[in-house]
Every structure is written in C-alpha cells, then in structure tokens.
Amino acid sequence: MLTITLNDLTTSQLTKMAAAQSISPEDLVEKTIRDLLHAEASRILARETEAFRAMPAQLLQKYAGEYVALHQGRLIDHDLDQFALYLRVDEQYPDEIILIKQVCSEIEEVYTIRSPRLTNA
C-alpha cells in the first residue's frame, strides 16, 4: 500500500467532490487513478498500433501469419503461437504494455459504430 499526502486545498476539494458523488474520498481517488492508468495504457497501445502500421512491408512479409510483439515502437519478438509469445513477453516485460498483433496480408477493416441518440421531435 502507498500513502500519498495531499495539501489542504486538494483534500477539501476531493472531500466535496466525493460527497457530491456519494462515495468516500478514498474510493474517488482509487477510481480516478485507475481511469488515468487506463487512459495512459490506451494511449500507449494506440502509439504501438501506429508503429505496427508504419512497419516496412518487407518486414511484415517476413512475419506473415505470425504474431508480433511491439514495445516502444520496436519489434521485440514473434511467434506463430500467440499464447507462447504472450508468455515470453510477459516474462521479459512483466510491468510493460506490449502490443501483440497478428500480421495479416489482408487490409485491416475499421468499423465505426455510432450510438443512437434520442431527440425530442
């Protein structure tokens, strides 16, 4: 467990915000930090995905059908077996965010799904 000391102004604002949400200040801090960590992980994965898409075609041809692992924009490992690759990468980089993606020859399809909105007519 980690103890963090907040200044009086931050503590007061946190207490008021938590009360407005009917949760404890500790739960609000926990939720906020988890949201921050999730957003950072998403940002890192987006950056790794862009690095994957920018990889030279000849490199991708070399690993066609295999799974590749990227860390900080670099190819760090590859394997035909996704689970075996995951286990190796997890052992070498236990606390890092690593993109594992299959190299496919077909174009990646992207779907955008819009949420329905209710309007007053």
CB 51 within 8 A of CB 73: yes
Question: Which segments within the chain are labelled E, that is strand?
Answer: 67-71, 74-79, 99-102
Query: Which ranges in the chain belong to alpha helices (H)?
Result: 8-20, 25-53, 57-62, 82-92
Strands 99-102 and 74-79: unpaired
Instruction: Delimit the domains of the chain by residue range.
Output: 8-102
Per-residue pLDDT of the chain in tens (121 residues, 90 and over written 9) = 889 899 999 999 999 999 999 999 999 999 999 999 999 999 999 999 999 999 988 887 899 999 999 999 999 999 999 999 999 999 999 999 999 999 987 655 555 566 565 656 5
Q: What is the pTM of this model?
A: 0.75
The closest of 6, 57, 52 to 29, measured between CA atoms, is 6
pLDDT tens digits along 34-45? 999 999 999 999
